[in-house]
Copies of this chain bind each other. A is one copy, B any other.
């Protein structure tokens, strides 16, 4: 918006807007961390103190009962601490470094779950881990991104099919399409629906996996759910780790099922995180817009400015916008709509892309400034190259949307 007002210095201001978003996000995350720390501290501190007290009593009892010096026991416990890290427990666990154990380990490395139930102890293992992880993690990021592509493709197909059926049913009922937005042409899947579907899928996978884990590991069902979240989100504390006992009933099947559940869960939660991050970005844009609005006090002029850039269709968008209510989704919809019309083609799932594409647009703009012709290319963007423009407009629209609200 500032960009449109001061068109002579378009790019630096635009970059500043990106910086503002980055800064705002960083500040909000810091605030989020502080609040989280307060809540966790309040929730967990009493139980920590209790655990300390309990252990102290147990230790005192044991030394008194067996007439041991505390010092000699501490020597043993230090030795046990060392052994603990290499995977030794009182109740024997599965071997850490046989083939299947090592396979589970490398899986936790490249997915960046990193439970830590198994860690390399030798120098050779640690050196190899660094190089192995570098390629493996990058490949897994690519895998997750390609999975995200596939899953969103699939969801968009399914959602379109549902929409089509709904339209046909409405047609059979004798009701005409109530406008362009209701027709197939104007249809686009909502990012909120995608979030909902992915959320439900993740929940389903977690519930099924928890049923399996609570049976096999004899965990509390809720603990199993907690484990699922920690594993699927690749946090991987390692306080609970599945498939660690020496033996299970139907061991091989359980191990395969465990890997599959973790794979599905990680992919699903990764996609969910990405969709949520898009919504967070929209929210940031909206906040930035509100801040900008309250600083400027000229929302109408800005709408006109937009008209000046894209005469006919933006007019329509501005007209429409007066009738839309104030939820992020609706306004975004109308703006997406306008962007689609501006570019003269269908861009239906752009909401998903806003996050991914903004990088591309920024880079394009960067390269344009770098080559010293920002204004010229800005014109071209809205003219000859309507397509890159379409994405750019999408993004600008999303930003404007937030400002005009």
Chain A 77-104 near chain B by CB (<8 Å), digits 1 or 0: 1111111111111110001111111110
CB within 8 Å for A143 and B29 given contacts A37-B103, A44-B120, A90-B78:
yes
Task: Tell me if A289 is interfacial: C-beta within 8 Å of chain B.
Answer: no
Beta-carbon contact of A110 and B38 below 8 Å: no
Beta-carbon contact of B106 and A36 below 8 Å: yes
Beta-carbon contact of A385 and B345 below 8 Å: yes
**Chain B residue with minimal CB distance to A145?**
B355
Among A311-319, A321-329, A388-396, the stretch that binds chain B is: A388-396
Chain A 92-126 near chain B by CB (<8 Å), digits 1 or 0: 00011111111101111110111110011111111
Query: Which A residues from 203 to 236 make CB contacts under 8 A with B?
Result: 222-223, 225-226, 229-230, 233-236
* Distance (whole angstroms) from the CB of A199 to the closest CB of chain B: 9
Query: Which A residues from 314 to 373 make CB contacts under 8 A with B?
Result: 343-350, 352-353, 355-360, 362-364, 366-368, 370-371
**Chain B residue with minimal CB distance to A164?**
B370
Beta-carbon contact of B239 and A135 below 8 Å: no
- Complex formed: what's the CA distance from A277 to B346 in Å? 30
**Chain B residue with minimal CB distance to A62?**
B76
Residues of B within 8 A of A33 (CB): 103, 106-107, 110
Residues of B within 8 A of A123 (CB): 222
Task: Tell me if A149 is interfacial: C-beta within 8 Å of chain B.
Answer: yes
Contact of A89 among B81, B135, B367 (CB under 8 A): B81
Residues of B within 8 A of A385 (CB): 343-345, 385-387, 390
Beta-carbon contact of B66 and A72 below 8 Å: yes
**Which secondary structure dominates where chain A touches chain B?**
helix
* Distance (whole angstroms) from the CB of A340 to the closest CB of chain B: 9
* Distance (whole angstroms) from the CB of A345 to the closest CB of chain B: 6
Residues of B within 8 A of A178 (CB): none
CB within 8 Å for A141 and B226 given contacts A185-B371, A368-B346, A371-B346:
no
Beta-carbon contact of A34 and B103 below 8 Å: yes
CB within 8 Å for A235 and B109 given contacts A142-B280, A146-B25:
yes
- Complex formed: what's the CA distance from A45 to B231 in Å? 25
* Distance (whole angstroms) from the CB of A63 to the closest CB of chain B: 10
The 9 residue pairs across chains A and B that have the minimum distance between CB atoms: A387-B388, A385-B387, A387-B387, A114-B235, A138-B276, A116-B237, A348-B367, A142-B277, A37-B103
- 28 A-B contact pairs sorted by A residue (CB < 8 Å): A22-B143, A25-B143, A32-B139, A36-B132, A40-B102, A41-B101, A47-B122, A55-B79, A58-B79, A78-B91, A85-B239, A113-B235, A114-B114, A115-B237, A123-B222, A129-B229, A130-B225, A133-B229, A138-B274, A139-B277, A145-B355, A148-B359, A157-B370, A184-B371, A185-B371, A356-B360, A387-B387, A387-B392
